Amino acid sequence: MKFSPLLSDLIQAFTCLPGVGNKSAQRMAFHLLERNREGAIGLSNVLHNAMEHIHHCKQCRTFTEDELCDICRHPERADSGLLCIVESPQDVLAVEQTLSYSGQYFVLMGHLSPIDGIGPEEIGLDQLELRFKNGNINEVILATNPTVEGEATAHYIAQLCNEYNIDASRIAHGVPVGGELEYIDGNTLTHAFSGRRKL
């Protein structure tokens, strides 16, 4: 015995969400059917809308329903000549929440990973090069993740910057503020030592 066909379809459909298996999908389906049909209809509509209208910003590749995202449209940011390169839209949000950066962004939507067939074009580096050519960027801050792939991507882009005589810098790796030295891994600590600054 199974649930009714439509109910089975609904449960199956929920498993397309990340981290949702059959049991969680059942729980979601029954929760919405029993307690929140309005919310479910709302989710259905927004989901449809979003998938139809959200695409990549023409300039920075983040997700937006407009041609250019809010940040790219900001005139002061465009004049700053600063470009921060991150891997994902969530990273943009993380940097923005610090309130300490006021330049533009370029979102790679991933990182170089030749083994998965992700080369420079897949992460929009041709588009980035066009921006370098246009010549209104003075400095690039490489804020890719401190993983092997992130580092490789940062190095690749740094070389690209070199070709166009643009300053490229990598965000600092070191001990997180509020962290305790004894719990920090050796690799991070090595970075913290080699990246020390004079007081």
Residue 67 sits in the site that holds a second copy (CB under 8 A):
no
The answer to whether the Cα torsion of 67, 71, 77, 81 is positive or negative is: negative
E strand or H helix that includes residue 194:
helix 186-194
Binding-site member from 61, 72, 83, 93 for a second copy (CB under 8 A): 93
Q: Fill in the per-residue mask, 16 to 45: x = in contact with a second copy (CB under 8 A), - = not in contact.
A: xxxx----x-xxxxxxxxx-xx-xxxxxxx
Residue in 33, 7, 35, 12 with CA at minimum distance from that of residue 24: 12
Report, in angstroms and rounded to the nearest whole number, the Rg of the chain calculated over CA atoms. Answer: 22
Residue 71 sits in the site that holds a second copy (CB under 8 A):
yes
- Considering only 2-10, 118-126, 137-145, 168-176, which stretch makes contact with a second copy by CB under 8 A? 2-10
Residue in 107, 119, 109 with CA at minimum distance from that of residue 152: 119
Residues in 44-63 at the binding interface with a second copy, rule: CB under 8 A: 44-51, 53-54, 63
How many residues bind a second copy (CB under 8 A)? The answer is: 57
Q: Between 39 and 135, whose beta carbon lies closer to a second copy?
A: 39
The tokens of 131 are what?
């921006």
Nearest approach, Cβ of residue 32 and a second copy (Å): 7
The tokens of 67 are what?
């041609």
Do 108 and 85 meet the contact criterion of CB atoms below 8 Å apart?
A: yes
Positions of E strands within the chain: 55-56, 63-64, 82-86, 104-107, 139-142, 167-170
Do 173 and 195 meet the contact criterion of CB atoms below 8 Å apart?
A: yes
Q: Between 97 and 165, whose beta carbon lies closer to a second copy?
A: 97
Q: Between 88 and 188, whose beta carbon lies closer to a second copy?
A: 88
Residues in 110-149 at the binding interface with a second copy, rule: CB under 8 A: none
Which parts of this chain interact with a second copy (CB under 8 A)? 1-7, 9-10, 13-14, 16-19, 24, 26-34, 36-37, 39-51, 53-54, 63-66, 69-71, 88-90, 92-93, 96-97, 109
